[in-house]
């Protein structure tokens, strides 16, 4: 009997420590990730990560975030099976006895998002996610003599620690984009919305709502140039002007329009707008122009330069399974929202119900409108441009067994001009735009600072061999990456795919 009592007391003690103390769990650490052949400076990076771990513990980050290597986008109580609400309950404090893990597990955080996103999230989480319960950490930043915001050494160490946590988790496969289709009710709403858009152009009041007059256009154009930081874009007004001429606030008002009985005309699109405001506007801006407050925070002075959020008015997307220059499929947008873009500031929104993700896809498509001055009409990109799936032949059974042909192609195509040469220890680390012989710009003419590092092995469009094949054959509609459909045969593209994946520390044949 005494043994049973002692065992019961011991069990209660262990349970109390696990539930309320947090000590055993937060003391557990996943290994810092490092390449099999450490490059120069890796010891310094590991020292910085170790200092960052101490900052993580000092700031009590462990009270909300485990580091157990679970699905990083799976918000659940760490000991119960009930889901955790995105917003904390009233009066909830992270150091209370409840001590529920309100944030995601960070065991696979390393490399999932850019340094700039991490800094923006630390400085003001609600600029990235308005519903985030995470507190701000302004004490980890300082202002320099010129008034620019800079991360302190402790902030840099903390980000190095976060980027050192674990390896890329296995991703549950979802159907290919071509196998996904938008619900019929949303397709019907888009068709009705498009018909209404065309009708508005026929009357003066509709044009005033949706098209900027000359004075408003000049102000918007000046803001566009200031946003890009490139005054020399003025000569290419004809390229960007048709998009700037459209009044984005008018497009938003159209989506939220009600009928005579006060009911929303397109409830699915309106719900997509609500989801966008909550989860997307922080980076992409309130009207989808890539000008959200978090976009500025990602450019914190003295930090590794970042690619900026997409401007949806151009309908230009990197992740697509379509031919060169074509629009993405609806399934491409859905998978981008579901999986995120690995290694970028774009996270996964797999926690959103599927219907909410589809509503978001439908709403994003309503933002892609431009003004045709010749015919004086509004043009919806999705009505006039094609979206033809790119054919990907079956993966060769012997893929990766002979890497020499791919290495020769890498040199013949001068891939090193943008991505850098293959080093003696088999790494390709990417290059800054200043080292390139050509201009690197995104859909708005903004600088694209860095090319892809094949050593890191994180591809925004997907890391499967088929994903890399699509990029090589179809190119990217954003940035300087060209299509090689006319330059290489499918067999040669597979050879190059095998070589590129062999350079990755995370290479996988799945």
User: And the tokens for 150?
Assistant: 């800079």
Confidence check: pLDDT of 28 > 80: no
> Residue range 240-265: average pLDDT?
92
Per-residue pLDDT reduced to its tens digit, 180-202 = 899 999 999 999 999 999 998 88
Per-residue pLDDT reduced to its tens digit, 448-496 = 777 777 877 778 788 789 989 999 999 888 888 889 988 999 999 999 9
In the chain, the percentage of residues whose pLDDT exceeds 70 is 77
- The answer to whether residue 17 is domain-embedded is no
Q: pLDDT band at 304, cuts 50/70/90?
A: low
- The answer to whether residue 250 is domain-embedded is yes
Same domain, 105 and 199: no
**C-alpha distances in angstroms, 375 versus 371, 372, 378?**
9, 6, 9
Q: Are 159 and 114 in contact (CB under 8 A)?
A: no
Task: Look at 8 and 173; give whichever has higher pLDDT.
Answer: 8
Confidence check: pLDDT of 260 > 80: yes
Structural domain ending residue among the three candidates 353, 384, 415: 384
Q: What's the structural domain count of the chain?
A: 3
Structural domain for 452, as ranges = 404-502
User: And the tokens for 374?
Assistant: 């010749």
3-state secondary structure of 150: strand
> Residue range 215-229: average pLDDT?
84
Contacts 24+ apart (CB under 8 A), 37-46: 37/425, 37/426, 39/425, 39/427, 45/160, 45/164, 46/164
- The answer to whether residue 345 is domain-embedded is yes
Q: For position 182, what pLDDT does the model report?
A: 94
Same domain, 433 and 493: yes
Same domain, 369 and 265: yes
Same domain, 371 and 425: no
Cα 92 → chain centroid: 30
- The answer to whether residue 351 is domain-embedded is yes
- The answer to whether residue 467 is domain-embedded is yes
CATH number at residue 255: 1.10.760
Rounded distance, CA 258 to CA 260, Å? Answer: 7
- The answer to whether residue 73 is domain-embedded is yes
Helix axes 354-366, 330-339, angle to 10 degrees: 120
Task: Look at 342 and 346; give whichever has higher pLDDT.
Answer: 346
Same domain, 341 and 262: yes
452, HSE (Cβ side, Cα atoms, 13 Å)? 23
Same domain, 360 and 441: no
3-state secondary structure of 328: coil
Same domain, 373 and 426: no
- The answer to whether residue 456 is domain-embedded is yes
Same domain, 462 and 319: no
Confidence check: pLDDT of 83 > 50: no
Same domain, 438 and 484: yes
User: And the tokens for 278?
Assistant: 């909550």
Same domain, 57 and 105: yes
Q: For position 504, what pLDDT does the model report?
A: 76
């Amino acid at each position: 009997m005494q043994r049973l009592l002692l065992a019961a007391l011991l069990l209660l003690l262990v349970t109390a420590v696990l539930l309320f103390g947090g000590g055993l769990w937060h003391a557990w650490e996943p290994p810092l990730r490092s390449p099999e052949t450490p490059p120069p400076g890796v010891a310094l990076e590991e020292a910085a990560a170790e200092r960052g771990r101490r900052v993580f513990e000092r700031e009590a980050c462990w009270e909300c975030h485990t580091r157990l290597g679970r699905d990083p986008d799976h918000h659940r109580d760490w000991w119960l099976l009930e889901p955790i609400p995105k917003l904390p309950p009233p009066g909830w404090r992270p150091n209370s006895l409840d001590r529920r893990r309100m944030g995601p597990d960070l065991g696979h955080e390393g490399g999932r998002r850019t340094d700039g996103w991490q800094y923006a999230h630390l400085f003001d989480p609600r600029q990235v996610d308005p519903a985030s319960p995470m507190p701000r950490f302004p004490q980890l930043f300082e202002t320099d003599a010129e008034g620019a915001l800079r991360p302190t050494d402790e902030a840099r160490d903390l980000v190095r620690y976060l980027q050192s946590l674990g390896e890329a988790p296995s991703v549950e496969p979802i159907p290919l984009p071509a196998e996904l289709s938008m619900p019929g009710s949303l397709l019907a709403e888009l068709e009705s919305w498009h018909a209404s858009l065309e009708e508005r152009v026929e009357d003066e009041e509709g044009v005033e709502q949706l098209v900027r007059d000359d004075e408003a256009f000049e102000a918007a154009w000046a803001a566009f140039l200031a946003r890009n930081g490139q005054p020399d874009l003025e000569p290419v007004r004809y390229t960007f002007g048709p998009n700037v001429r459209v009044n984005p606030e008018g497009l938003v008002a159209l989506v939220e329009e009600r009928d005579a009985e006060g009911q929303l005309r397109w409830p699915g699109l309106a719900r997509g707008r609500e989801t966008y405001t909550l989860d997307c506007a922080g980076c992409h801006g309130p009207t989808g122009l890539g000008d959200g407050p978090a976009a500025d925070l990602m450019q914190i002075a003295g930090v590794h330069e970042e690619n900026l959020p997409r401007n949806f008015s151009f309908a230009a997307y990197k992740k697509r399974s379509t031919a060169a220059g074509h629009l993405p499929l609806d399934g491409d947008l859905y998978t981008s929202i579901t999986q995120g873009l690995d290694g970028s500031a774009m996270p996964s929104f797999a926690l959103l119900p599927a219907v909410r993700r589809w509503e978001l896809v439908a709403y994003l498509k309503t933002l892609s409108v431009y003004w045709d001055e010749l015919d004086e009409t509004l043009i919806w990109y999705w009505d006039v441009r094609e979206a033809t799936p790119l054919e990907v032949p079956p993966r060769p059974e012997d893929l990766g067994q002979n890497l020499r042909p791919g290495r020769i192609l890498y040199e013949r195509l001068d891939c090193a001009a943008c991505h850098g040469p293959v080093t003696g220890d088999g790494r390709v680390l990417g290059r800054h735009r200043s080292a390139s012989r050509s201009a690197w710009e995104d859909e708005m003419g903004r600088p694209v600072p860095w090319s892809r590092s094949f050593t890191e092995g994180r591809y925004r469009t997907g890391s499967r061999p088929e994903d890399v094949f699509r990029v090589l054959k179809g190119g990217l509609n954003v940035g300087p990456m060209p299509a090689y459909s006319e330059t290489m045969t499918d067999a040669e593209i597979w050879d190059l795919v095998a070589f590129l994946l062999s350079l990755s520390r995370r290479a996988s044949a799945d």
